[in-house]
Amino acid sequence: MFVSKFQPSRPKTPPEVAKAIKDSLNALDTKTVAEVKALEKAMEEVEKNFVTMRCMLSGDGEVEPNVEQVSQLALEISKEDVISLVVHKLPILGWEARKDLVLCWSILLKQQVDSKYCCVEYIEKNLELLDFLVVCYDNKEIALNCGNMLRECIKFPSLAQYILNSASFVLFFKFVELPNFDVASDAFSTFKDILTKHASLVAEYLTGHYDEFFDLYEKLLTSSNYVTRRQSLKLLSDFLLEAPNVQIMKRYILEVRYLKIMMTLLRDSSKNIQISAFHIFKVFVANPNKPREIKIILAKNHEKLLELLNSLSGKVAEDEQFEEEKELIIKEIEKVSRLQSLKS
């Protein structure tokens, strides 16, 4: 069992803990940070207070947390502007302090006081904190911590909605392709949560930002990075086929440019990408209201498509359903290719 080197000398009350955290974070000013010894001492105080906060919120391994104290601490931390402080001081905090903060952040956001999420309400009044956390993906030292904190925020519709509609959201299209694999993967996890946790909010966002969003998304689907192509294709299938996004999906499958992307991905060297592409491609083909332009593309390329589809096989567990769907799509492509109206 992990035993911290910091042990509070006496039990502190929630207001005392909140004030101690605030004071120790405020002590990390420009002058202190510039002096090595002063910074070490100030950082030690921050870490000690974070340990006290963690023990009060989650227990110490032997004693369970006191529910009333947990609620009171959440309230005090909101009242004392500690939430804003911990976010803005993140870049200079040490590894242990950041680890404790991520754990405490998750607990604090879930705390209800008088049926209200006081810490969430605080963030709703200080939404620039969410922008700060998003931008921190550019700092690989704290990116994973910020990612964890963002995903906790995204669980709440009001905070997810803000991120979706903020200028910061488009940064995810850059972050998911960062050269650092761990940071890029974490950014994609957050990106995925934003697009899948609250389907009705996403449908509303996509309705208002359709062209902008899918122009950017096309770059992910055609990326030279295999992981980016595979993840973005799977995610597209996840949110595009959600019931609240049916109108978005109907609009998407009318566009020749997106059909061509799926046809290109059907030829990808990766079987996983081919299978994922098929699950979106089949919606274009099965659409009973296919535009003439879509029919022409399918007819012109029907021989190559049939050859490709015949060579495609699903994963073992899904083979039967996959083969049935594939057979239907093959028949539909054959039917379209025989249409006399397309030959004039």
- What is the 8-class DSSP label of residue 12? P
Which residue in 323, 225, 305, 324 sits closest to 259, CA to CA?
A: 305
- Which pair of structure tokens corresponds to residue 297? 């593309």
CA–CA distances in Å: residue 209 to residues 25, 56, 131, 217: 40, 44, 19, 12
Q: Is 6's pLDDT higher than 70? A: no
Q: What is the pLDDT of residues 287-341, one digit of tens each?
A: 999 999 999 999 999 999 999 999 988 665 567 888 999 999 999 999 999 987 7
The pTM assigned to this predicted structure is 0.91
Question: What would the mean pLDDT of 100-111 be, rounded to a whole number?
Answer: 96
Q: How far is CA 237 from the centre of its chain?
A: 15
What is the band of 344 on the pLDDT scale with cuts at 50, 70, 90? low
- Which pair of structure tokens corresponds to residue 227? 């992981």
* 61 residue type, one letter: G
C-alpha–C-alpha distance, residues 272 and 107, integer Å: 37
Reported CATH class of domain 11-125 = mainly alpha
Q: Is 5's pLDDT higher than 70? A: no
**Tell me, what's the pLDDT at 10?**
64
Which residue in 135, 186, 187, 123 sits closest to 160, CA to CA?
A: 123
Least confident of 9-18, 25-34, 231-240: 25-34
What are the structural domain ranges in the chain? 11-125, 268-343
Most confident of 24-38, 172-186, 299-313: 172-186
C-alpha–C-alpha distance, residues 116 and 297, integer Å: 55
Which residue in 327, 296, 285 sits closest to 309, CA to CA?
A: 327
What is the band of 4 on the pLDDT scale with cuts at 50, 70, 90? low
Give the residue, 192 or 6, on which the prediction is more confident: 192
**Tell me, what's the pLDDT at 242?**
86
Q: Is 30's pLDDT higher than 50? A: yes
What is the band of 1 on the pLDDT scale with cuts at 50, 70, 90? very low
Q: What is the pLDDT of residues 219-268, one digit of tens each?
A: 999 999 999 999 999 999 988 888 899 999 999 999 999 999 999 999 99
Q: With pLDDT > 90 as the criterion, what percentage of the chain qualifies?
A: 81
Which residue in 315, 312, 309 sits closest to 329, CA to CA?
A: 309
**Tell me, what's the pLDDT at 313?**
80
Summary mean pLDDT of the chain? 92
